Amino acid sequence: MRLEEHLRKIVGEPWVISGKERKLYAYDGFTAVEGDPELVVLPGNEEEAVKVIRLLLERGVKFIVRGSGTSLSGATVPVGGEVIVGLSRLNRVYSLEGYEMEVGPGIANVMVTKNAPPHLFYAPDPSSYVVSSIGGNISHDSGGVHVVKYGTTFNSVISLRVVLSNGEVEDLSYGPFLSALPIFVGSEGTLGIILRVRLRLYPRPKTRRSLFAVFPDVRSAGEAVVGIFKRGVIPSALEMMDRNSIKVVEMSRYRAGIPDVGALLLIELDGDEEEVEEQEEIVNGVLTDTGGARLSVADEGKVWNARKGAFPAMGVISPAYLTLDCNVPRRALPEVLEEVSRIAKRRGVFIANVFHAGDGNLHPLIPYDPSSPESLFRAIQASNEIVKEALRVGGVPSGEHGIGIEKVKFMGLYHGEAEMRVMRRIKDSFDPRGLMNPCKLLGGCEPKTEVTRWLWEWD
């Protein structure tokens, strides 16, 4: 039986997408590279998913597991004509017990908190949380604004059900010794397929307070970030927007009446009333010392939404952009941000910075014109320089968006040959035939287009 026919038998006629319509899965949130999936299959439950995956493994077909398709690093782009296994229909809540919820990988992040009792919440909240899937969040070890206090997705995963490359279904949880679970978090679908997840919920703090502060420039805002931690305050969120990103957001649907300033800090403090009072006083002191001024706003939710919508709001000035997510030590923020603006000038590109300042997770947004390869090339050149600068000051190439196809060449730069060899051996033991999400994370594919060559090779 032909593969397509066989897949249709498993999942039902409408859930295999072939012909030209399969191209709708040609890319995710990273649009610089267009893939070409051979077929798309959307199993409707765990049983069907296992059958589909076993069939693909049996036939030695390369495949990519996909959730909502919001990856910003192109982790689900079928660059090698792979089959796409979309798990968006596996979006059930299986159980809720105490502080734990068991869900399917296709459920949108926001639905976890929505399904939780009112006194609990799911902490990791990438800006795409209204759509991005829990399976994708785990595969990218996604962060979000609350990472600074509650950790990335990694800290909220209790157990996983995965399919391994031999077709076996395994339940993995943490153990005190050599534990199999952590390696799946952030593995970008290269080691196995996540079928089910048990997540940790946190009690909702009694008080949450938002503070907004404006600064004449990013340097002083960066100094305030460092100062807040130095004085012992761990905010539940600490975000920064620079002048360019404020400008873009104010032109978009998310306009929130933010003034035209050098930088805006969005700070959230949580805990008991007394604790929050005390923290607020300390933060006020830091703001005064660093030249910041409190900004009073009519609608706090609007300012937070402006932050969360800042990436796609770039659409108002440019239909495509690169989003980097390198992490740097907080102390280096002022220095790195200034270098980023020098790079922008040198390369002749526009760069907007809107990012998780609290954990030093930069997000330079570099718009480019998708109809002009030269413009994309310049954006890539600028991102090369930014990542190198981040590594120079002791940072890492990716904090939360994953490596995907976008950042593979930085892996070698950051890890060195020996570490890369170890990682490849791990990949080979989990997936000896290289069928799962090829070319991603560890690379190893020959670039077939000009753009993938720019992304994967140094000049």
Partner 1 sequence: MGVGLEDSCVHCGFCLEACPTYVVTRSEVHSPRGRITAVKLDVDSQGFDTCMFCRRCELACPSGVEYARIITKVRRATPEKILMNSLLERPRLAWRVLKAGKSLNSGLIQRVRLSLRDPQEPLEYREESPEVILFPGCLTSLAYRRTVENALKFLKAKGLRVSVLNGCCGLAHRSEGQVERAQELVRRLTNVKGGTLVSLSSNCTAHMRESGVQVLDFSEYVLGLLGQERVELSLTVHDPCHANMIGLGKATREVLRKLGVNLVEMEEPSFECGAGGGYFLFHPQIAENVMELKAEKIRRSGTNLVVSTNPSCSLVLSFKGFQVVHLADLLAQTVTKSLE
Provide the binding-site residues for partner 1, judged by CB under 8 A: 15, 17, 20-21, 23-29, 31, 40, 42, 68-70, 86, 88-89, 91, 106, 108, 110, 128, 130-132, 252-254, 309, 311-316, 319-321, 370
Cα distance between residue 211 and residue 282, in whole Å? 12
For the bound state, the minimum distance from the C-beta of residue 341 to partner 1, rounded and expressed in Å, comes to 23
CA atoms within 13 A on the CB side of 87: 35
DSSP sequence for 249-301: HHTSTT-----S-SEEEEEEEEESHHHHHHHHHHHHHHHHHTT-EE---S-HH
Torsion region of 31: left, alpha or beta (phi above 0 gives left; psi -120 to 50 gives alpha): alpha
Are residues 440 and 190 in contact, defined by beta-carbon separation less than 8 angstroms? yes
Helices (H) and strands (E) in the chain, counts: 14, 18
For the bound state, the minimum distance from the C-beta of residue 158 to partner 1, rounded and expressed in Å, comes to 25
For the bound state, the minimum distance from the C-beta of residue 2 to partner 1, rounded and expressed in Å, comes to 21
Of 301 and 394, which CB lies nearer to partner 1 in the complex structure? 301
For the bound state, the minimum distance from the C-beta of residue 211 to partner 1, rounded and expressed in Å, comes to 24
Of 34 and 446, which CB lies nearer to partner 1 in the complex structure? 34
Nearest to 308 by CA among 447, 70, 128: 128
Give the dihedral of Cα atoms 46, 84, 318, 72; nearest 10 deg. Answer: 60
Cα distance between residue 127 and residue 265, in whole Å? 16
Helix 373-392 / helix 333-347 crossing angle, nearest 10 deg:
150
For the bound state, the minimum distance from the C-beta of residue 333 to partner 1, rounded and expressed in Å, comes to 26
Of 23 and 208, which CB lies nearer to partner 1 in the complex structure? 23
For the bound state, the minimum distance from the C-beta of residue 306 to partner 1, rounded and expressed in Å, comes to 10
- For the stretch 131-156, what's the b/e string if a residue is b when 16 or more beta carbons lie within 10 angstroms of its beta carbon? bbbbbbbbbbbbbbbbbbbbbbbbeb
Of 287 and 314, which CB lies nearer to partner 1 in the complex structure? 314
For the bound state, the minimum distance from the C-beta of residue 344 to partner 1, rounded and expressed in Å, comes to 20
Of 37 and 358, which CB lies nearer to partner 1 in the complex structure? 37
For the bound state, the minimum distance from the C-beta of residue 349 to partner 1, rounded and expressed in Å, comes to 17
Of 98 and 118, which CB lies nearer to partner 1 in the complex structure? 118
User: Using the 8-state DSSP alphabet, how is residue 7 labeled?
Assistant: H
Of 247 and 388, which CB lies nearer to partner 1 in the complex structure? 247
Of 40 and 264, which CB lies nearer to partner 1 in the complex structure? 40
Cα distance between residue 150 and residue 348, in whole Å? 38
Q: HEC states along 117-141?
A: CCCEECCCCCCCCCCCEHHHHHHHC
Cα distance between residue 357 and residue 362, in whole Å? 7
For the bound state, the minimum distance from the C-beta of residue 310 to partner 1, rounded and expressed in Å, comes to 8
Of 296 and 371, which CB lies nearer to partner 1 in the complex structure? 371
